[in-house]
A and B are shown apart, each in its own frame.
Chain A
Amino acid sequence: MQRALHGDDDAYAMLVREHQEAVYRLAYLFVGDADDAEDVAQETFIRAHRALHTFDQTRPLRPWLLSITANISKNHRRAAGRYLAALKRALFEAPPAARIEAESARQMEAQALWDAVRRLNTTDQEVIYLRYFLELSVAETAEVLAIEQGTVKSRLSRALGRLKGVVEDGFPQLVEDYR
């Protein structure tokens, strides 16, 4: 971190390598497209590089990076209807036969869950992605969202309630899981 702060690009590349998977996955969850997620992830690390001198080094790096990712992702999918196009692809287009064969029943279930989450508002999606898909702790989630841990819990509770409604309405295959 110190080396990266002093302009060592190799050191920064190592930091990127350490966190790129979490950043890329959060971007993918938000934008729903592999290429767009790669763009968002790159943008995240370039912006972080520019702002590295402002980062409080006493705090963990990952939540800071993920908060940048979430912001860029939200802006990205607002732009030019890309999100709607990706969502439409995800919801209405049949996946390739090879993919169906390769995916286990659990993966199909996970895909259905993701589709259900994507019908929620952005605030609900964000907290669910961080807590359940990326498996961040409540404390880390609070860091990313810049809110208190208690607020994370109440926000999660409300989001779970709304997700339950979405699942009951449109994803019967998931209903068994919360009964």
Chain B
Amino acid sequence: MATLRDVKKRIKTVKSTARITKAMEMVAASKLRRAQQRVEQAKPYAQKLDEMLSHLATASTGEIVHPYFEEREVKKRTVVIISSDRGLCGSFNTNVFRNADRWLRENDGVETEIVAVGKRSFDYYKKRQWPISDTYDDWSGQLDYDRAREIVASLTERFVSGETDEIVLIFTRFLSMVKYQLCIEKYLPVARPDVTEEDTGPSNEYIFEPTSEDIYAALMPSYATTKMVTALTESFASEHGSRMIAMGNATKNAGEMVQTLTLDYNKARQGQITKELAEIVGGAEALTA
């Protein structure tokens, strides 16, 4: 049986841990709100861009001439894995790595290099001795547009120059506050946009200013950037969500622990009082006898 002082010390420790987890939960909640807002705000643009590309593909006759569409035999592959920088976010990173590992196993046989986004991703794949060509960490859970563009510039440049034949993006999609889905998507080459049936009518003879090629040339970089920005913002939102839930649970557990410990403490205290009383009564009896 622990002594009174020991139990008291433990209660204090657990309480201070609970205070920290509570604070972390609240910070994550406020960051999540902002991140979620960003996810929502970015949606219309991404959607319209998709639509425009699809219309463009439908309306422009002949082949799509843009290097981002070029499908080559895959001799070298780049896999971008987006994780968080910091831990204490439940199963968020584990989930990323488990699925990424499975995908990497299933698609073995091609020379593969990893682009690590987030410290955790770098640590994990460094330890497992994967070749890491680039690392982008220290995001502090927020999207930095310039850095996102930097990633896109480096990736597209490597794809167009033929250094890599396929780029795959592994990130977490933010479905709701409590629901996240791991996504493994091909980033480059870009899949040919769907040709929509309804638009193929003669009424939709588009005028291109200046030419469809020029429009592709202007549109594709935006498309690539938007896709990366979406992946990043959604991953960050999921990270904050996971952390909020994990820390919420930790706080709850700490509360329960304090309760049981307090019970133990009171029992021990009561035991001691009873013992002391028994001693006093015993002493008094001895005197009167």
Is B one of A's binding partners? no
Q: Which residues of A contact B (CB under 8 A)?
A: none
